[in-house]
Chain A
């Protein structure tokens, strides 16, 4: 087993174990912090897939933005004393049965499908290609994305502001 295979197994393990912590932990702080492991593991998988720019974006936005937002929300909505019991879960056994069937089906489908691989899988820097694509082929979605972000920002401010009672 080469070094890269070992690292791949390690990253896959990190991703799945932390995602399991998110799903099964009884403490919401532990859940929130194990999201960090999942996001870092997924970024590592992106690097294995030769997507360096997407990996950097994953680290910047998920770890630097979304995770911090989630931690803020956890801290703002929980009194620290009752943090251990607030991550309630219900209906775990039926959900486990259904999800187990689903994941078995998905993995069987992945295994039994004869995937066609490209002839030469290359590892080149992707940033320039992605920049070109954003400014030529995907210009309209790119501009729409900025509109969506502006709308989301205004919406978040409007929803979470203090209401002035008369």
Chain B
């Protein structure tokens, strides 16, 4: 583990991915599930930027990371809008309660 070592960044990314996946799997609250997705996207971004830095030296990895951040913003906006719509319909955001598409 040192700042000049690729594997330390990959390890941090792996731990972050595992925690995000754990959040997505176990939470029953839709907003918490979205938070887990954000953690997973962040871990993927760490890997992109780390490979870009230690690998070929061009900035393709950083550009992909920026695209991932952009898509995460779009995903958060649409996802949270859906969560608000579910809350208006069912008065809860428990993902087990919302099991029909229409009331």
Interface of A is mostly: helix
Query: Are B12 and A45 neighbours in the complex by a CB distance under 8 Å?
Result: yes
Tell me which of A65, A91, A99 contacts B21 (CB under 8 A). Answer: A99
Q: Using a CB-CB cutoff of 8 Å, which residues 36-50 of chain B contact chain A?
A: 36, 38-39, 42, 45-46, 49-50
Query: Are B74 and A149 neighbours in the complex by a CB distance under 8 Å?
Result: yes
Query: Are A88 and B59 neighbours in the complex by a CB distance under 8 Å?
Result: no
Q: A16-B12, A23-B19 are in contact. Are A73 and B69 (CB under 8 A)?
A: no
Tell me the complex Cα distance, A52–B4, Å: 17
A-B Cβ contacts below 8 A, count: 223
Q: A90-B28, A95-B25 are in contact. Are A110 and B63 (CB under 8 A)?
A: no
Chain B residue with the shortest CB-CB distance to A13: B12
Tell me the complex Cα distance, A16–B11, Å: 11
Tell me the complex Cα distance, A9–B52, Å: 21
Interface size range of chain B in the complex: 35 or more
Query: Are A35 and B38 neighbours in the complex by a CB distance under 8 Å?
Result: yes
Query: Are A31 and B32 neighbours in the complex by a CB distance under 8 Å?
Result: yes
Interface size range of chain A in the complex: 35 or more
Query: Are A118 and B56 neighbours in the complex by a CB distance under 8 Å?
Result: yes
With both chains docked as a complex, state the minimum distance between the C-beta of A154 and any C-beta of chain B, in angstroms: 10
Tell me the complex Cα distance, A126–B2, Å: 23
A42 surroundings in chain B (CB, below 8 A): 16, 42, 45-46
With both chains docked as a complex, state the minimum distance between the C-beta of B63 and any C-beta of chain A, in angstroms: 6
Query: Are A70 and B73 neighbours in the complex by a CB distance under 8 Å?
Result: no
Chain A residue with the shortest CB-CB distance to B17: A106
Query: Are A70 and B14 neighbours in the complex by a CB distance under 8 Å?
Result: no
A62 surroundings in chain B (CB, below 8 A): 38, 42, 69, 72
Tell me which of B22, B53, B93 contacts A50 (CB under 8 A). Answer: B53
- Tell me if A84 counts as interface (CB < 8 A to partner B): no
Query: Are A76 and B78 neighbours in the complex by a CB distance under 8 Å?
Result: no
Q: Using a CB-CB cutoff of 8 Å, which residues 88-103 of chain A contact chain B?
A: 88-92, 95-96, 98-100, 102-103
Query: Are B80 and A70 neighbours in the complex by a CB distance under 8 Å?
Result: yes
Tell me the complex Cα distance, A111–B15, Å: 14
Query: Are B66 and A54 neighbours in the complex by a CB distance under 8 Å?
Result: yes
Kindly name the residue among A16, A51, A69, A145 whose own CB sees the greatest number of chain B CB atoms within 10 A.
A51
Tell me which of A54, A88, A149, A155 contacts B29 (CB under 8 A). Answer: A88
| 15 A-B pairs (CB sep. < 8 Å) | A35-B35, A42-B45, A51-B49, A58-B69, A62-B72, A70-B76, A76-B87, A86-B29, A91-B25, A103-B17, A116-B55, A120-B57, A130-B63, A145-B71, A152-B77
